[in-house]
A and B are shown apart, each in its own frame.
Chain A
Amino acid sequence: DSGVTQTPKHLITATGQRVTLRCSPRSGDLSVYWYQQSLDQGLQFLIQYYNGEERAKGNILERFSAQQFPDLHSELNLSSLELGDSALYFCASSVDRPHTGELFFGEGSRLTVL
């Protein structure tokens, strides 16, 4: 158990809909990262938050948004869903430098868009 909690574990929805994925980082970790993993795209970095502020943005679509709340949990909002958004979405947290800085991944949220 990495200590990172993601909900829901599985989600099935229809095209055009909106969903929210939730992530609670490990206790004490200020950074939260979101990744998308699909079969043909590998592990794609979406966005990073640090202590409530957006720190870095990767290949995140405009239809997607995220935020990190004062209690450090984070939510990833996916809207106007398309079939191609079906993927495993991972949240990871880290304690950042000067510590080892490794990422600890949650179990993921598997999104299926029909």
Chain B
Amino acid sequence: ELKVEQNPLFLSMQEGKNYTIYCNYSTTSDRLYWYRQDPGKSLESLFVLLSNGAVKQEGRLMASLDTKARLSTLHITAAVHDLSATYFCAPNTGNQFYFGTGTSLTVIP
């Protein structure tokens, strides 16, 4: 079974700062998804990374995928309070999704 490790698990950062969340996974996966979850709410799709070297950006978030290194990153630029949420990566093989433990991000004014 594919194992997924996200780090950090908890991240507290000041507004305006930059930071990167890492998602490592154990076996081959050719695509990966990032989701955001606000407390008590559903999961919202952020990025779909469909191939090695894929990079997607939306606002202050940028995601990348290196399938050879089995690594995806979610980079946060100039964080704002609205980005406070839990972020999950989910590598995909076939039609199976393997969710990481999530990174709980708190942006402090």
Contact = CB atoms under 8 A, between A and B. Distances in A.
Given A56-B96, A97-B95, A100-B48, A42 B101 contact: yes
A91 B89 CA distance: 18
Contacts of B88: 43
B95 A96 contact: yes
Interface string A49-93: 010000110000000000000000000000000000000101010
B95 A42 contact: no
Interface residues of A, number: 26
B5 to A, nearest CB: 12
| Interface range on chain B (Cβ under 8 Å from partner) | 20 to 34
B95 to A, nearest CB: 6
A100 B96 CA distance: 13
Interface string B77-99: 00000000000101010011111
Contacts of A31: 95
B106 to A, nearest CB: 17
A114 to B, nearest CB: 19
B contacts with A: majority SS: strand
Contacts, number: 54
B99 A107 contact: no
A48 B95 contact: yes
Nearest to B101: A42
A96 B95 CA distance: 7
A105 B48 contact: no
Interface of A: 2, 31, 33, 35, 42-43, 45, 48, 50, 55-56, 88, 90, 92, 94, 96-97, 100-108
Given A96-B95, A105-B43, 16 more contacts: A2-B42, A2-B44, A35-B99, A43-B88, A45-B98, A45-B99, A56-B96, A88-B40, A94-B95, A100-B48, A100-B50, A102-B45, A103-B43, A103-B90, A105-B42, A105-B44
7 contacts: A42-B99, A43-B88, A43-B99, A100-B50, A101-B31, A103-B33, A103-B43
